[in-house]
Structure 1
Amino acid sequence: MAESHVQRKLLDMMKRRIPTVIAIVLLLAVWEAWVRIGHVPSTMIASPSEIAQATVETWPTLWPATQVTLLEGTVGFLLAVACGILIGILLYCSRVANAALFPLLSAAQTMPLISIAPLFLIWFGFEISGKIVIVAVFGLFPIAVQTVRGLEAVPQFYSDVALTCGATRAWTLWHVKLRVAARQIYGGIRVSAAYIFATATTAEYLGARKGLGIWLQAAYNSFRTPLIFSATLVIIVITGILMCLVNLSERLLLGPADADADPDADQ
């Protein structure tokens, strides 16, 4: 029974992924044919085969740049998760803090990175620490917002039951409300993870010593379009890996998404 259940799950997963794989293969085939048949200059747009070749040839220098961006993005993301959840709890627990800080937090997210990066260059120079702070600042907003919304959406009876059983309000918050709101909080974490490495790369592009942003800048200055696509491909891949890790952590901590469904809902 257990093996058949696992096999059924794998088949369902494969069925969901097949359309995605087919769409990607068709897109790459059309892209390759358009560039080759249309004789599009490689300085304008590179074909998938040229991008793959450029990635392999430049990997000895591309990988060290990727490691720098990975470090900045990963550390900044972890800080964003911790700070975002704590800020969200603070905004939920204190109406004064919500009224005072939430508008400021929202305003901070509307400012373009190009207007803030020079300040961080003045404060931190070209060091990695400045990029980590930028990533954390831009990554915590969706996590904080979803934490507040998730806590506000928790039905009151959860608190009533816990308090009736003798639990304190603090215990109820940390062990009951946050657990119920965890799915929505993870929604904010996924949104943040989606653009963490893009933010780190942009921050590097505006001022750094090394990283994928500097790689992109060098490729642009030399009109080597395949290398621009190579760096873009790497950003997509590491972002996808981070998203998978986020989903895995959610499954390990909270179980499958359907585990929270009410078994009596359809009755």
Structure 2
Amino acid sequence: MAESHVQHKLLGMAKRRIPTLIAVITLLVVWEAWVRLGHVPSTMIAAPSEIAQATVETWPTLWPATQVTLLEGTVGFLLAVACGILIGILLYCSRVANAALFPLLSAAQTMPLISIAPLFLIWFGFEVSGKIVIVAVFGLFPIAVQTVRGLEAVPQFYSDVALTCGATRAWTLWHVKLRVAARQIYGGIRVSAAYIFATATTAEYLGARKGLGIWLQAAYNSFRTPLIFSATLVIIVITGILMCLVNLSERLLLGPADADADPDADQ
């Protein structure tokens, strides 16, 4: 019975992915045909087959650059998650902190990366640590905001029940409110994860010794368009892997999304 249920769910997931697969294949076929039949110069846009070939041929140098960006993005993302949740809790618990810090967080997010990257170059030089800090700073805002909103959206009766049973306010916050708000917090984590490696790559492009940003800069300077697409493809793939890991962690920690549904809602 359990095995048939698992097979049914896997079949359902596969069916939901079929339209995406068809769309991607169609896009690649049309793209390849347009470049080949239209005789589009490879310096302007590369065909998918050329991108795949360039990726394979340059992998011995592309992979070390990817490892650097992976390190910066992963460490920066973990810092953003930890700091974002803690800052969100602080903003929720303290009106003074909310009034003082939230405008600063909002202002930090409105600044383009290119405007503050020179400061980080002065402070950290071309080292990896500077890119990690940039990624963390730009990644924590959506997590902090969703943490505040999630905690504010928790119905009051959850706290009332816990406090009535003898729980302290601190215990109620960490064990009740955060658990109820966790789905919304994960929404902010997903938003952050979606652009974390792109942020790291852009920071490298503006000043670094190695990484995908330097790879892109070298490809651009030599007008090797297929290599630009190769680096872009790698960024998309590692971002997709990170998103899958975020979804997996949510499922392991919180269970399936439908597990939070009220069983009496339809009655």
Q: Do both proteins adopt the same fold according to a TM-score greater than 0.5, normalized to the shorter chain?
A: yes
After TM superposition, give the deviation of residue 160 of structure 1 in Å: 0.1
Deviations 1:210-262 (A, max 9, x none): 00000000000000000000000000000000000000000000000000000
After TM superposition, give the deviation of residue 189 of structure 1 in Å: 0.1
- Partner of 2:119: helix, strand, or coil? helix
> 1: CA distance between counterparts of 2:172 and 2:10?
38
> 2: CA distance between counterparts of 1:84 and 1:127?
24
- When normalised by structure 2's length, the TM-score is 1.00
> 1: CA distance between counterparts of 2:91 and 2:153?
14
> 2: CA distance between counterparts of 1:195 and 1:70?
13
TM-align CA RMSD? 0.3
After TM superposition, give the deviation of residue 103 of structure 1 in Å: 0.6
> 2: CA distance between counterparts of 1:186 and 1:251?
11
> 2: CA distance between counterparts of 1:218 and 1:62?
12
> 1: CA distance between counterparts of 2:147 and 2:23?
35
Deviations 1:4-47 (A, max 9, x none): 10111011001100000000000000000000000000000000
- Partner of 1:264: helix, strand, or coil? coil
- When normalised by structure 1's length, the TM-score is 1.00
After TM superposition, give the deviation of residue 52 of structure 1 in Å: 0.0
Deviations 1:69-126 (A, max 9, x none): 0000000000000000000000000001001110110010000000010000000000
> 2: CA distance between counterparts of 1:51 and 1:96?
53
- Partner of 2:58: helix, strand, or coil? helix
> 2: CA distance between counterparts of 1:186 and 1:107?
23
Structure 1 runs of 4+ off > 6 angstroms? none
> 2: CA distance between counterparts of 1:59 and 1:248?
28
> 1: CA distance between counterparts of 2:56 and 2:3?
40
Percentage of pairs with the same residue: 96
Structure 2: gaps of 5 or more residues: none
Deviations 1:135-178 (A, max 9, x none): 00000000000000000000000000000000000000000000
> 1: CA distance between counterparts of 2:220 and 2:23?
29
> 2: CA distance between counterparts of 1:137 and 1:104?
12
- Partner of 1:126: helix, strand, or coil? coil
Deviations 1:178-225 (A, max 9, x none): 000000000000000000000000000000000000000000000000
> 2: CA distance between counterparts of 1:103 and 1:132?
23
Structure 1: gaps of 5 or more residues: none
Aligned to 2:228: 228
> 1: CA distance between counterparts of 2:181 and 2:172?
12
Counterpart mapping for 1:1-267 below 5 A: 1-267=1-267
> 2: CA distance between counterparts of 1:161 and 1:129?
45
After TM superposition, give the deviation of residue 3 of structure 1 in Å: 1.2
> 2: CA distance between counterparts of 1:100 and 1:242?
32
> 2: CA distance between counterparts of 1:200 and 1:175?
34
